[in-house]
A and B are shown apart, each in its own frame.
Chain A
Amino acid sequence: MIRIENAHKRYRWRKVLDGVTFSAEKGQITCLVGMNGAGKSTLLKAIMGLTPLSKGSIRVDGVGSKRELYEKVSFIPDHAAMPGGYRLEDGLQFMADYYKRWNEARANELMAFFRLDPRDRVGNLSKGTAAKYGLVLGLAADTEFVLMDEPFSGIDVFSREMIGEVFSSRLIEDRGVLVTTHEIGEIEYLLDRAILLKDGKVARDIDCEQVRDEQGKSVLDVMREVYRS
């Protein structure tokens, strides 16, 4: 379980996170929802130690240390995070060199699924192709948790469908997924939980199935209630 407790973060004078507390469970898809600048990406980066919190704690399976973090959790940012001059195969080799849990067979399978050419250069990739390549790098390792930052942002409809397929595949099964997205409609039916951020706080923490069954509402309906009020 990833547990975020009382997270605070300031950018200069602006409070981005103001006491955010929630957890993401293994085997569930949890979605962080919020307006632009609500601190969704900041939270993902903070979990990965890519930006420090002003206050608060983050624990993965009860451990606060970063020592084992990167073998347990993989992060898929909204870009490829590889040098532009690298060929895609160089990026795969980089991951194989540093990660004990790198699964080469799965990486090759994903490259084939997304129809990526290993000889292409990272700098020449379109936004959609870079997003698919980011998914290969993030999902090929046998990590217990996957964090995804805006996987559908600025991507054409066919690429979205391919990425959407990944969410319902065995690649995600049994892992904990924490995803941020504006395009909630793409994966709404797959979500287990949604955390709605507003004014730096958790406005709602909902069990999607329960809300659907008991209140007959979708995540979008709850979002309208929270963000239009």
Chain B
Amino acid sequence: MSHYFKLLALEVRRFRYILAGMMAYALIVECLAVAREIHNYANRYGIKEGTREPGVLPQTYSFADVIGNVQSGFALAVVLPLAALLAYVLLIWYRDWFGRHPFAFRLLMVPGGRISLYFAKLTAILLFIFSMLAWQLVAMAILKLEYAVVTPELLKESSRFTDAMYASEIFKLLLPLRFTQFLINYGMGLLAVMLVFAGILLERSYRIRGIVIAALYLALNVTLLVLASMSIELPLYPSETVAVCLTIFGLEVAGAIWLSLKLITGKVSV
């Protein structure tokens, strides 16, 4: 167990600057988008701090309204870090295999460490995803502060933090209001990472043949998931539909872990 935590700390240390960079990027883009939106709105009504053009009656502009109108800014802030995280799902393995001094040699020779290595890499990815998510909540609080500072008094209107959060389409997707939806979204994300890990380990074990096997393996799992989602249309009780979906999800998770551990402990090559 101690090796697992050490390896997890190692993975976090190796990604910390990229993670910090992604967080800074997301915050800067969102701050700029909010500032620009408020500035444009104020200009539309000729409002400067404390004064307004005569004859124009501006509507107030709450923080939730601002967030609702910067969808593209938020998308820009989230999509790039998300793409980087998706790329890192591959890189977290491949970076150890390539370069002048492949680190995979050392990692695979850690005493009793291969299973820990697999789970450390998996946990690290989840940790990065949830860190970005938590950072988005912090960023929202910072944006609210920015709103309070840059919005002219005439336009200010109070709004609830949650209203502002769910005015953003991206936030609705990242942090669904319903807990079951949250579990489904992140459960599917976790399964996707596990399937990709199994695919990578197939490729690292059987090289070119492994790519073909991995493609077939991923196709089979995706097909099963599609079939599971189609069970909604079958004449089943809701509880039976849930049971079918959960069984297939559970089988795929168990299958991905079993295959990955089998490969990493006995088949993988450097």
A interface list, Cβ under 8 A from B = 45, 48-52, 66-71, 75, 77, 79-84, 94, 97-100, 122-123, 130
B94-102, B135-143, B161-169 - interface stretch: B94-102
Interface of A is mostly: loop
Given the known A-B contacts A67-B112, A94-B106, A97-B6, are A45 and B270 also in contact in the complex, defined by CB atoms under 8 Å?
yes
B172 within 8 A of partner (CB) = no
Interface status of B234 (Cβ within 8 A of chain A): no
Given the known interface contacts A51-B269, A97-B6, A98-B3, the answer about A82 and B103 at a Cβ–Cβ threshold of 8 Å is yes
Least Cβ distance of A2 to chain B in Å? Answer: 15
When C-beta atoms are compared, the residue in chain A nearest to B7 turns out to be A98
Query: Interface readout for B87-114 with A: 1 if CB under 8 Å, 0 if not?
Result: 0000000000001111111101111110
B14 CB–A CB distance under 8 Å: yes
B6 contacts A75, C-beta separation under 8 Å = no
Q: Which residues on A sit within 8 Å (CB–CB) of B270? A: 45, 50-51
Tell me which residues from 152 to 201 in chain B have a Cβ below 8 Å from any Cβ of chain A: none
Q: How far is the CA of A50 from the CA of B102 in the complex (A)?
A: 12
| Contact A84/B99 with A50-B105, A50-B269, A51-B270 known, Cβ cut-off 8 Å | yes
Kindly state the separation between the CA atoms of A65 and B269 in the bound complex, as whole angstroms. 18
Q: How far is the CB of A144 from chain B (nearest CB, A)?
A: 14
Number of A-B contacts (CB under 8 A): 64
- Would you list 27 pairs from A and B whose C-beta atoms are within 8 A, ordered by A residue? A45-B269, A45-B270, A48-B109, A49-B108, A49-B109, A50-B105, A50-B108, A50-B109, A50-B269, A50-B270, A51-B270, A52-B267, A79-B100, A79-B101, A80-B101, A81-B102, A81-B105, A81-B106, A83-B99, A83-B101, A83-B103, A94-B106, A97-B6, A98-B111, A100-B111, A123-B101, A130-B100
Tell which of B3, B14, B108, B109 has the most Cβ of chain A within 10 Å.
B109
Contacting pair A82 B106 (CB below 8 A): yes
Closest chain B residue to A79, Cβ basis? B101
B interface, over-half SS: loop
Taking the complex as formed, is B266 at the interface, i.e. its CB lies under 8 A from any CB of chain A?
yes
Given contacts A52-B267, A123-B100, contact A75 B111 (CB under 8 A): no
Inter-chain pairs besides A75-B109, A83-B99, 5 sampled, C-beta below 8 Å: A66-B265, A77-B105, A82-B106, A83-B14, A98-B111
Check A79/B102 contact, CB under 8 A, given A50-B269, A51-B269, A98-B6. Answer: yes
| Chain B residues with CB under 8 A of A49 | 108-109, 266
**Residues on A with beta carbons closer than 8 Å to the beta carbon of B101:** 79-84, 122-123, 130
Which of A45, A77, A98 is in CB contact (< 8 Å) with B110?
A: A98
In the complex, the 8 A-B pairs of residues with the closest C-beta atoms, listed nearest first:
A81-B105, A70-B111, A80-B101, A51-B269, A81-B106, A79-B101, A98-B110, A50-B270
CB distance from B124 to the nearest CB of A (A): 15
CB < 8 Å: which of A69, A75, A84 contacts B100? A84
Contact (A52, B269) CB under 8 Å given A70-B111, A98-B111, A123-B100 = yes
Q: Do the beta carbons of B105 and A70 come within 8 Å of each other?
A: no
A98-B113 in contact given A77-B105, A79-B100, A84-B99 (Cβ < 8 Å) = yes
The residue of chain A having its C-beta at the shortest distance from the C-beta of B208 within the complex is: A12
Q: Specify which chain A residues have a CB less than 8 angstroms from the CB of B269 in the assembled complex.
A: 45, 50-52
Residue of A nearest to B267 (CB): A52
Do A70 and B109 touch across chains, with their CB atoms under 8 A apart?
A: yes
Which B242-270 residues sit within 8 Å CB-CB of chain A?
Answer: 265-267, 269-270
CA distance A77 to B99 in the complex (A): 14
- Among A67, A71, A84, A98, the most chain B Cβ lie within 10 Å of the Cβ of A98
B111 touches A99 (CB 8 A): yes
Contacts of A122 in B (CB 8 A): 101
Scoring B residues 109 to 153 as 1 if CB is less than 8 Å from chain A, else 0, what string do you get?
111110000000000000000000000000000000000000000
Q: How far is the CA of A51 from the CA of B205 in the complex (A)?
A: 9
How far apart are the CA atoms of A82 and B265 in the complex, in Å? 21
B209 nearest CB neighbor, chain A only: A12
* B265 vs chain A, min Cβ distance (A): 8
Q: A50-B270, A51-B269, A97-B6 are in contact. Are A81 and B103 (CB under 8 A)?
A: yes
Task: Give the docked Cα–Cα distance between A72 and B6 (Å).
Answer: 21
Nearest residue, chain B, Cβ from A137: B106
Which of A48, A52, A77, A82 is in CB contact (< 8 Å) with B266? A52
Chain B residues near A75: list those with CB within 8 A: 105, 109
Alpha-carbon distance A45/B102, docked complex (angstroms) = 14
- Which residues of A are found within 8 Å of B266, using beta-carbon distances? 49, 52
A43 to B266, CA, bound (A): 15
Q: With a CB–CB cut-off of 8 A, which chain B residues contact A83?
A: 14, 99, 101, 103
Residues of A close to B106: CB separation below 8 A:
81-82, 94
